[in-house]
Amino acid sequence: MLGESARLQLLSFIAVQPAQEACVCQLIEPLRLSQPTVSHHLKVLYKAGLLQKERRGTWIYYRLVPERFEILQKVLTLPKSK
């Protein structure tokens, strides 16, 4: 699921947003991917339980699931060397 670098980039981008949320329209340009590709990756992350989604008009906003994201951060953090 996270073997695709675009998915890690999406999570990182969403994590640094003020409300830790973004719509597809905000993610296309920074990642230099097409809308269908971004939507596909967001769908995978949503199904994995890392993102929540909310429709607002014609756009879907994706937000981090804090508990899941914290676990992911712990797993991906390298141990500190002594």
> What does pTM read for this prediction?
0.78
Going residue by residue through the chain, which has 82 residues, state the pLDDT in tens, using 9 for 90 and above.
Answer: 556 788 889 988 998 998 889 998 899 998 899 999 999 999 999 998 999 999 999 989 999 998 776 766 666 666 776 6
Encoded tokens for 23: 């719509």
d(CA 21, CA 34): 19
CA distance 60 to 47: 15
Residue 54, pLDDT score: 94
Could you tell me which of 25, 26, 29 has the C-alpha nearest to residue 16? Answer: 26
- Taking alpha carbons only, the member of 10, 25, 26, 24 closest to residue 64 is 10
Q: Provide CB contacts within 8 A for 35, sequence distance 6+.
A: 24, 28
pLDDT at residue 51 in the model: 93
According to the model, what pLDDT value does residue 68 have?
Answer: 72
Give the pLDDT score at 71: 67
